[in-house]
Amino acid sequence: MQNALTVALPADLQVLPYGMAEDSDAFVVTRETAQKYGLTSLADLKKQNGKLVIGAAPEVKKREVGAVGLKDVYGVEFKEFKSLDSSGPLVKGALKKGDVDVANLFTTDSPASATP
């Protein structure tokens, strides 16, 4: 694809090498939540077991790369799971408003759309 783009562009434009990117899930908290609870890693969520609310697409509740994996790998248990959308306006809005403490977002979201 990069070669096809290079051929199609006018001679005065140059195609730069692609950057490495990976589309994966991320568990996100606001800066305020991180500071309040001393969160710097997923493992830190365990210190707040039974206190935090997570918001994500419904399937995240049963996925190994979701709530099940957080419990199995890190021992994290949430107070509540709120079924919202998949890295969309509902989960982002809930995180911004404080309706959820932890949100499941995608790493390919632009900073403007992902930053609460």
Average predicted confidence (pLDDT) for the chain: 90
* Total-model pTM: 0.78
Q: List pLDDT tens digits, range 7-28.
A: 888 888 888 887 777 788 899 9
Fold for domain 25-35+43-108?
D-Maltodextrin-Binding Protein; domain 2 (3.40.190)
Q: What is the 3-state secondary structure (H, E, C) of 35-96?
A: HHHCCCCHHHHHHHCCCCEEEECHHHHHCCCCHHHHHHHHCCCCCEEEECCCCCHHHHHHHH
**Domain segments of the chain as ranges:** 25-35+43-108
**Tokens at 57, concatenated:** 């697409």
Separation between Cα atoms, residue 54 and residue 82, nearest integer Å:
6
Cβ 81 vs Cβ 101: under 8 Å: no
